[in-house]
Amino acid sequence: MRRMCAVLLAGVMFFSALFCGMPFGAEDVLAKSATKVSDGFVKIKGGKFTMGSPKKEAERENDEVQHSVKVKTFYMSPTEVTQKEYKSVMGKNPSEQKGNNLPVTNVSWYDAVRYCNKLSKSEGL
């Protein structure tokens, strides 16, 4: 649970690509770089990838300029933060489609930071 914050923040920040579409081949890179650790979390080795889309891609927007992104090694839960987990910390569930075991949705960056801070405080961190 201590690393849950890193999980949620990583999900909102870097792995938002999972919701918007991973760069081609990124799933394979992530699968090869993951190592299970004793607390159930997965160690994701840092690396580089190209973010954005090629200039000639159909329906490409101006903010999709391709550029290299470097990510440091981090730990991540193999599952999303559930609505039940989020509600137990925050006292509310912002998700439209309800279900205790479904991933929490409709969470902004600031919501994720508040969740992490509150979770850390509750665990004495």
Please give the pLDDT value at position 111: 95
pTM of the complete model: 0.56
Q: pLDDT for 36-50, tens place per residue?
A: 555 678 899 999 999
Residue 29 belongs to domain spanning: 4-122
Please give the pLDDT value at position 5: 56
Please give the pLDDT value at position 35: 60
Low-confidence spans in the chain with pLDDT less than 70: 1-39
Q: Cα dihedral angle (115, 117, 121, 125), rounded to 10 degrees?
A: 120
Q: How many domains does the chain have?
A: 1
Please give the pLDDT value at position 31: 55
Burial track 71-98 (b if 16+ CB lie within 10 A, e otherwise): beebbbbeebbbbebbeebbeebebeee
* Strands across the sheet containing 34-36: 34-36, 42-44, 74-76
Please give the pLDDT value at position 37: 57
Please give the pLDDT value at position 58: 92
